[in-house]
Amino acid sequence: MSRTGAWIGACLLGLVLSGCGHQAPGSSGKSDVPSSPSTTAAPARPTAAADESTWGNYLAEQGKRHADGVSQHPYIYVIPRGDGVGATDRRKNELDSIDHSIGPILMPGGMLILGGPDVQQTTAFITELSKTAKADALKGIVVLVVTEPSQTDGVKSALKPTGATVRVATM
């Protein structure tokens, strides 16, 4: 999918999620406060070979479940797997997009959703994001990382300097 396609997909998914962005009573916005997923069943994890659209829909469903305190449309990034030139370039472009495009326009109450078929690639992406982002660049922003439990501590630690309100959804 091209970068333009990814933007269009993110915008469309944002429209889908727009109905669930409300301030939950008692929501504190602290990064160590777990989100309270809705009572609906967790969406089924796609296979690693599933296409980007399937992964995007899965991340959007996770976003709906963990949207407490979110008042803006979310930005969804499906982190590609693989070490090929295409996947590496795309991850770099997505880092640039968050640092230079999305990050500056996100305001407190916004949401950034990150995840993909390879949890190690997602964690590496988040680690790199924390190195390129300015301190407190994501303060007040909910960053939902959809990953496996083994990655939770690394993700939270990496995002701490960004000031993000970190939520982790288990695949």
- In angstroms, the Cα distances linking 52 to 10, 21, 139 are 12, 24, 28
Has residue 150 been placed in a domain? yes
Has residue 38 been placed in a domain? no
Has residue 34 been placed in a domain? no
Considering its fold, how many domains does the chain have in total? 1
Residue 106: per-residue pLDDT: 83
Residue 48: per-residue pLDDT: 87
Has residue 27 been placed in a domain? no
Are the C-beta atoms of 90 and 23 separated by less than 8 Å? no
Per-residue pLDDT of 8-64, as tens digits, reads 444 444 433 333 333 333 333 333 334 455 556 789 999 989 999 999 999 999 999
pLDDT(7) > 80? no
Range of the domain at 144: 3-16+43-170
Has residue 37 been placed in a domain? no
Count other Cβ atoms within 10 Å, centred on residue 23.
12
Per-residue pLDDT of 73-132, as tens digits, reads 899 999 999 999 999 999 999 999 998 888 778 888 999 999 999 999 999 999 999 999
Indicate the DSSP class of residue 100.
Answer: I
Are the C-beta atoms of 75 and 105 separated by less than 8 Å? no
Has residue 162 been placed in a domain? yes
Has residue 23 been placed in a domain? no
